[in-house]
Amino acid sequence: MRRAGRIVSDLLKLMEKEAKAGVSTKGLDEIAEDFIRSQGAEPAFKGYYGYPASICASVNEEVVHGIPGKRVLKEGDIVGIDVGAKLEGFFSDAARTFAIGKVDEENKRLIEVTREAMNQGIRQAVEGNRLSDISWAVQSYAEKNGLSVVRDFVGHGIGRNLHEEPQVPNFGKAGQGMKLVQGMALAIEPMLNLGTFEVEVLKDGWTVVTKDHKRSGHFEQTVFVGKDKPEVVTG
């Protein structure tokens, strides 16, 4: 998982360089698939429940699961890129939201708050805490900063499968749910919106958008629960 995580981390650094105005989301997907395979791994998403691509590329009001295609990124857009890699039977999964060129202050803040909300959640991934301590850390930071938390999609366990139990919501009261134990592997992934938390799925059956079409940010890391501090596998 650590080796798969390094591939995912390196790929997202590459995506940050390649995601610029004039580039299509399909072009980014092709770069990503080539990179993953060049590292001896497989794209975790391609073919997963019929998903047709190696990355999810979610632009502006798209929350998650945006299918790469002909859409060309333009100055002022934001794009969430989510990617997973499978290596020798183990998975790692991570996402980042990138600004395309210059974006306004509201969008800069959306990206920064979503990233930090994820970090707040990750800090709770230590033995003896409860699962919902992660959830509450994300929600409280997000709402304190004026953003809403998507309820319909959540983080998850990960390991020999891309998605495993438990679900890891980004909302909820602290001190509830299972006790965390050292070595648990979790994908912690807040999805935060500028407007309502409500979302809907488009006719393609995959792309999730905000109901009010305001913009959304998405960050994710694969994390091992630690005895005293968490280990970020995809950092």
Q: Which domain holds residue 109?
A: 2-232
Distance CA 4, CA 201 (A): 30
The domain total for the chain is: 1
Closest CA to 211 of 232, 197, 221, 231: 197
Distance CA 158, CA 151 (A): 20
Q: The CATH number of the domain where 189 resides is what?
A: 3.90.230.10
Containing 118, the helix (H) or strand (E) segment is helix 105-122
| 103-148 per-position pLDDT tens digit | 999 999 999 999 999 999 999 999 999 999 999 999 999 999 999 9
Dihedral of alpha carbons 27, 84, 178, 231, sign: negative
- Amino acid letter, residue 192: L
Question: Do 54 and 194 contact (CB within 8 A), yes or no?
Answer: no
Closest CA to 215 of 76, 93, 26: 76
Average pLDDT, the chain: 98
What percent of the chain has a predicted confidence (pLDDT) above 90? 100
What per-residue confidence (pLDDT) applies to 131? Answer: 98
What per-residue confidence (pLDDT) applies to 86? Answer: 98
Bond before 169 cis per omega within 30 degrees: no
Q: How confident is the model at residue 3 (pLDDT cuts 50, 70, 90)?
A: very high
Q: How confident is the model at residue 70 (pLDDT cuts 50, 70, 90)?
A: very high
- Residue 48 gets which letter from DSSP? G
Structure tokens that stand for 1 in this block: 């998982």
**Token match 């959306």: residue?**
110
- Residue 76 gets which letter from DSSP? T
Distances from the Cα of 8 to the Cα of 51, 164, 187, angstroms: 18, 19, 13
